[in-house]
Structure 1
Amino acid sequence: MKVLVVGANGQIGRHMVQRLAKDEHHQVKAMIRKQEQADFFTHLGAETVIADLETEDDIFRATEGVDTVVFTAGSGGHTGADKTILVDLEGAFKTIEAAEKHNIKRFIMVSALHSDTPKNWKEGMEPYYTVKKRADERLRNSSLYYTILRPGWLTNEKPSGKIEASLHLGKDGSISRENVADIVVQSLGMEETFKQTIELIDGDTAIQEALSTIK
């Protein structure tokens, strides 16, 4: 399976590419914005493609020839609402549309916990959650075999390999970025995760078991 990682130079994206590059069952293509970012990925043995999420033609070219798209791009928590709309919303929309045009069936979106529950949105982050909610809705209404992953607050803790996963967690929590990367890799071919929106925090259950028994 050839996997395109959109947002490969982000913190989760880098962990993800590292894991996929070591997996003999997958090939990985890292979508980056600048040539100077390429060395990290080529050293791993990953293919790179330079593309701008704000440019439809770039995204169409980047998604060509892959079997699966993982969207883990984000404008960052400190950018303005305009950049969040361009990257997290319009960039996601363009990537979903490109995947459909290329007849790519599998699409994994890294979203955010509480995107569907405005009462839990943090003050000042309403534009971010609104954008994530709309991007998730667009993916759910697509023709793709999607998985939407909604991790809690992200940390740089070492990966435990253990999580809590549910369709409706009903609580806050944090999760290691490396755990999220492992979840993406393990969920690529797991039919239990197809067409599901999964909320995630660190927990006590091994990742594969947690994903296999989602409820």
Structure 2
Amino acid sequence: MKVLVIGANGKTGRQLVGLLGESASHRVRAMVRDEEQVPALQDQGAEVVVADLEQDFSHAFDGIEAVIFAAGSGAHTGPEKTESVDYQGAVRSVEEAEKHGVDRYIMLSSIAADDPDRGPSAIRHYLRAKGKADERLQHSRLNYTVVRPGGLSNDPPQGKIEAAERITDLSRRISRADVAAVLAACLDIENTSRRTFEILAGETPIEEALQTV
């Protein structure tokens, strides 16, 4: 499949682009806001398109068969920016996918997006925005997957996770590298279709965990 990664210059997005750039079964188009970001992503094997999630980015979807939304304003931004990127931008990307006949859509969300009271009070505006975007996707005609990781780290990949509809022990974190690997794996694992699940570091190999989620 030809896969559009939205948020390709983010910490998780860059690792995801690298994985897809090495894939024998997928081609990756990386969407970035800044021309200066183009060469580094091209070096990872990506076709790069410059587009702003807060402007018209419809041209990024031409010829695309799958979308992975990995963009985010960041949990520490104010409510206005969070609403613009994490909710409105995500919803517009779902609508563009529908308009362009894209079937597969994978959303990078967050644990507690469905219940912000489970998360820290300082980021509840972020969790609410994520949750609203998830709901729009879940009610779309798209073949969706919503992936909700817990706290993120920059640790090396472990290749093992816990995946479940809801995880109660939130004391663990998960590396961005493992989150990127989960997003890439969801493209090929049919069991993740039309599913919403949470992930944290665990003891089960990624593909095995996704087969049983």
Structure 2, unmatched stretches of 5+, are: none
Q: Which residue of 2 aligns with 1:138?
A: 136
Residues 132-171 of structure 1 correspond to what in structure 2 (within 5 A)?
Answer: 132-171=130-169
Residues 113-132 of structure 1 correspond to what in structure 2 (within 5 A)?
Answer: 113-132=111-130
Shift of 1:21: 0.5
Q: Which residue of 2 aligns with 1:176?
A: 175
Report the RMSD for the aligned CA atoms in angstroms: 0.9
Shift of 1:61: 0.8
Shift of 1:32: 0.1
TM-score by length of 1: 0.96
Give CA deviations for 1:47-71 in whole Å, capped at 9, x if unaligned: 000001011x32x111111110000
> In structure 1, how many angstroms separate the alpha carbons of the residues matched to 2:200 and 2:52?
31
For the residue of structure 1 that corresponds to 2:43, the secondary structure is helix
Q: Which residue of 2 aligns with 1:75?
A: 73
Q: Which residue of 1 aligns with 2:24?
A: 24
Residues 45-64 of structure 1 correspond to what in structure 2 (within 5 A)?
Answer: 45-55=45-55, 57-58=56-57, 60-64=58-62
For the residue of structure 2 that corresponds to 1:170, the secondary structure is coil
> In structure 2, how many angstroms separate the alpha carbons of the residues matched to 1:121 and 1:156?
20
> In structure 2, how many angstroms separate the alpha carbons of the residues matched to 1:129 and 1:186?
24
Shift of 1:45: 2.3
Residues 8-23 of structure 1 correspond to what in structure 2 (within 5 A)?
Answer: 8-23=8-23
Q: Among residues 82, 97, 100, which one is paired with 2:98 in the alignment?
A: 100
Aligned residue identity for 1:209: E
In terms of mean alpha carbon deviation, does 110-119 or 143-152 score higher? 110-119
Question: Is 1:189 equivalent to 2:188 in the alignment?
Answer: yes
Q: Which residue of 2 aligns with 1:205?
A: 204
For the residue of structure 2 that corresponds to 1:85, the secondary structure is helix
Runs of 4 or more off by more than 3 Å in structure 1? none
> In structure 1, how many angstroms separate the alpha carbons of the residues matched to 2:138 and 2:157?
29
TM-score by length of 2: 0.97
> In structure 1, how many angstroms separate the alpha carbons of the residues matched to 2:37 and 2:86?
20
Identity %: 45
Question: Is 1:6 equivalent to 2:32 in the alignment?
Answer: no
Aligned residue identity for 2:20: L
For the residue of structure 2 that corresponds to 1:125, the secondary structure is helix
> In structure 2, how many angstroms separate the alpha carbons of the residues matched to 1:128 and 1:115?
8
Aligned residue-pair number: 212
Shift of 1:111: 0.2
* Contact 2:18–2:45, Cα closer than 8 Å, also in 1: no
* Contact 2:160–2:201, Cα closer than 8 Å, also in 1: yes
